[in-house]
Amino acid sequence: LLKDGVVRTLVKRGGTVTVSYQSYTSTTFPVDLRSLPGSLEQVRTSVDLGNGVTGTYYDENNAAGKPIDGVPDNVTATPFNQAWRQVTVGNGSNIQVATLTSLGGTRHHYYKDNSAVDPQDTGDQRSFGDSGFEVTNPTSKLFTITTGQYFIPAAQGNQGATYNQYFLNPLQVTATAESQFQTYLPTLSRN
């Protein structure tokens, strides 16, 4: 764990780098599975909320939102043109954006909201607004996934497309020398 000025945390493990600020966390993780035999069936990155959490789920195909309540919903997973999803709960909103490089395969939004016990589900074996991105039949075993997590205050409506643009088009800083002013050194004289 490093502290670097206003950067809250900077963690590097293996090739994975995580940078966190007050309301934003970015993680870049390169994946190399070339030594594994066979082919990959799927790659998924998602966030599963705690048991009983309620709120609203948004993505590019579900702009009006779907309730997070542990009851399965019909959610449109494609097209997958914008890699973002938003989860809004009473105290705030989390918007996850991503770039999925060199994966190939078929990309779609992933969403599962089901309070029934599923022995195949990791953790508490339930899914409350489990959401993110999934690639089926990826064509590469060498790829990088970069995700950004924005944490915005209060329960807000759909803001995902806006934050996706922030992620894809970050502010750029440029410094240039100012040439219209001349600099003079003061002269001192002793009487």
Q: Domain range spanning residue 114?
A: 2-168
pLDDT per residue as tens digits for the range 48-81? 998 888 999 999 999 999 999 999 999 999 999 9
| Residues facing 99 on adjacent strands | 146
Q: Is residue 92 included in any domain, yes or no?
A: yes
Q: Is residue 180 included in any domain, yes or no?
A: no
Q: Is residue 175 included in any domain, yes or no?
A: no
SS3 185: coil
Residue 95 pLDDT > 90:
yes
Residue 14, classified by CB atoms within 10 Å of its CB into exposed (0-12), middle (13-18) or buried (19+), is exposed
Q: Are 90 and 98 in contact (CB under 8 A)?
A: no
Tokens 């000025």 map to which residue? 5
Q: Is residue 103 included in any domain, yes or no?
A: yes
Q: Is residue 118 included in any domain, yes or no?
A: yes
Q: Is residue 133 included in any domain, yes or no?
A: yes
Q: Are 146 and 120 in contact (CB under 8 A)?
A: no
Q: Is residue 85 included in any domain, yes or no?
A: yes
Model pLDDT, residue 11: 56
Model pLDDT, residue 97: 96
Count up the domains in the chain and report the number: 1
Report how far apart, in Å, the C-alpha atoms of 151 and of each of 91, 101, 114, 138 are. 10, 24, 24, 30
Q: Is residue 182 included in any domain, yes or no?
A: no
At residue 113 the predicted structure's pLDDT band, cuts being 50, 70 and 90, is very high
- Decide: pTM greater than 0.95: no
At residue 1 the predicted structure's pLDDT band, cuts being 50, 70 and 90, is very low
